[in-house]
């Protein structure tokens, strides 16, 4: 007899779980408070321009992840190039930090001296010291310090005592300006279709019962019941991609999350950025973090262009805290999930997860249930 499964959340992870469970002949019900699929990867339109709330290019080195989307929604690959504006230098540079840009900086000699003095082994125990040990204080101040403080709404980056997520790979790139990851040279890809990943999400849930625009009132984890305003749903198991504190009714306290506000702006010019450049970071005292020119990703054809400005906000739960005590609090939730209750995805695991990470979590989960 097939299992009845309720999936809480219809973002990337929830939709992928629905697709995989359908292959195993499960009876799946997918619930989301949003009126659309895909969460932060859903494509909206503003002034005729497609965009997502936060840029969502696919970064993968695993061809299985690429194929998982490409077989449904064809992808095109491209070199991802990011920039940053350093106000004190009155200059635009590449991001991550690039060796060739250092040579053009007004304080080049100081930076080179600091780089010579960096320790061979980075034994830092907090975010700030980790970056200073990697690139020296001047480059840290220019590129990292204020940006990170703005993003996480903190006054001191030393509060981040888990350094596993901070300095990854090569902190200073040489040669090619294409963005690299700590795992090596990735494939950067984006859907060819104007609607982005939307049709992929629709495909994933085609065999599920989908309930959108409904707020989950309560989840009884022991009985495996989900309470909506118009009824109660029962399952053999529950897969949750919603935040752990919401899932477990704040049993171990509210978890700390950070959100972001998105401001779409249409401008009367074909392009703002140099062709092939995608994001522009602002690590200075501006209120905003970055702007994204979406047609650089989507290849939308128009006489005008859309940029989206991103501002740190208490709205939404996009990023889990990277402070150890908050991570330990989240682990209390994860370590006390009842039998046949599974938490996956960015909110479900209290981790920053790429789209590929979410797929791999789902594939791993399918081996366990």
User: Within a domain: residue 75?
Assistant: no
User: Within a domain: residue 295?
Assistant: no
* pLDDT tier, 170 (very low <50, low <70, confident <90, very high otherwise): confident
Domain boundary among 116, 144, 177: 177
Nearest CA among 75, 350, 317, 296 for reference residue 361: 350
The answer on pLDDT for 165 being more than 70 is: no
The answer on pLDDT for 187 being more than 90 is: no
User: Within a domain: residue 288?
Assistant: no
Which residue is it, tokens 């509060």? 159
Cβ atoms 166, 145 nearer than 8 A: no
Domain of residue 214, residue span: 4-65+193-255+319-368
User: Within a domain: residue 271?
Assistant: no
Structure tokens of 229? 């305003």
Type and span of the H or E element at 259: strand 257-267
Mean pLDDT score of the chain, rounded to an integer? 94
Please tell me the predicted confidence (pLDDT) of residue 304: 98
φ, ψ dihedrals at 278, nearest 5°? -115, -50
pTM above 0.85, yes or no: yes
Nearest CA among 283, 251, 32 for reference residue 138: 283
226 and 323 both lie in a single domain: yes
Q: Which residues contact 90 (CB under 8 A, 6 or more apart)?
A: none
User: Within a domain: residue 212?
Assistant: yes
57 and 206 both lie in a single domain: yes
- What distance in Å separates the CA atoms of residue 94 and residue 296, rounded to the nearest whole number? 16
Burial classification of residue 261, based on how many CB atoms lie within 10 Å of its CB (0-12 exposed, 13-18 middle, 19 or more buried): middle
Peptide bond into 304 cis (omega under 30): no
For residue 227, the domain's CATH number is 3.40.50.720
What's the whole-number mean pLDDT along residues 89-109?
A: 97
- What distance in Å separates the CA atoms of residue 200 and residue 35, rounded to the nearest whole number? 16
154 and 30 both lie in a single domain: no
Structure tokens of 211? 């309930």
45 and 95 both lie in a single domain: no
- What distance in Å separates the CA atoms of residue 349 and residue 344, rounded to the nearest whole number? 6
φ, ψ dihedrals at 264, nearest 5°? -75, 135
Structure tokens of 61? 């080195």
Q: Which residues contact 162 (CB under 8 A, 6 or more apart)?
A: 322, 323, 324, 327
The answer on pLDDT for 333 being more than 60 is: yes
The answer on pLDDT for 180 being more than 60 is: yes
Domain count, the chain: 2
Question: Dihedral of CA 88/91/93/99: which sign?
Answer: negative
User: Within a domain: residue 268?
Assistant: no
* pLDDT tier, 164 (very low <50, low <70, confident <90, very high otherwise): low
Please tell me the predicted confidence (pLDDT) of residue 35: 97
The answer on pLDDT for 271 being more than 70 is: yes
- What distance in Å separates the CA atoms of residue 291 and residue 321, rounded to the nearest whole number? 23
């Amino acid at each position: 007899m097939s299992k009845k499964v309720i999936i809480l959340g219809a973002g990337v992870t929830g939709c992928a779980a629905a697709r995989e469970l359908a292959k195993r002949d499960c009876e799946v019900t997918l619930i989301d408070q949003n009126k659309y699929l895909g969460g932060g990867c859903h494509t909206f339109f503003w002034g005729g321009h497609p965009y997502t709330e936060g840029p969502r290019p696919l970064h993968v080195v695993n061809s299985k992840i690429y194929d998982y989307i490409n077989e449904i929604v064809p992808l095109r690959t491209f070199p991802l190039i990011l920039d940053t504006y350093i106000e004190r230098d009155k200059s635009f540079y590449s991001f991550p930090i690039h060796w060739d840009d250092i040579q053009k900086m007004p304080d080049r000699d100081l930076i080179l001296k600091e780089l010579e003095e960096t320790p061979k082994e980075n034994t830092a125990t907090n975010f700030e010291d980790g970056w200073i040990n990697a690139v020296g204080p001047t480059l840290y101040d220019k590129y990292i310090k204020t940006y990170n403080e703005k993003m996480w709404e903190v006054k001191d980056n030393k509060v981040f005592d888990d350094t596993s997520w901070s300095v990854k790979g090569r902190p200073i790139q040489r040669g090619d300006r294409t963005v690299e990851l700590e795992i090596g040279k990735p494939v950067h890809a984006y859907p060819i279709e104007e609607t982005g990943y939307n049709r992929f999400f629709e495909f994933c849930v085609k065999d599920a019962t989908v309930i959108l625009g409904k707020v989950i009132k309560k989840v009884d984890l022991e009985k495996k019941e989900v309470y909506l305003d118009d009824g109660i749903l029962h399952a053999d198991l529950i897969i949750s991609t919603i935040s752990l504190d919401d899932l477990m009714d704040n049993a171990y306290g509210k978890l700390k999350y950070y959100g972001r506000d998105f401001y779409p702006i249409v401008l009367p010019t074909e392009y703002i950025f140099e062709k092939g450049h995608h994001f522009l970071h602002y690590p200075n005292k501006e209120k905003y973090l970055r702007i994204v020119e979406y047609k650089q990703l989507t290849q939308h054809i128009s006489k005008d262009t859309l940029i989206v400005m991103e501002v740190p906000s208490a709205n939404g739960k996009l990023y889990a805290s990277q402070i150890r005590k908050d991570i330990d609090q989240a682990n209390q939730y994860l370590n006390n999930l009842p039998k046949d209750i599974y938490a996956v995805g960015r909110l479900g695991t209290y981790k920053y997860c790429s789209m590929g990470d979410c797929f791999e979590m789902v594939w791993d989960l399918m081996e366990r249930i």
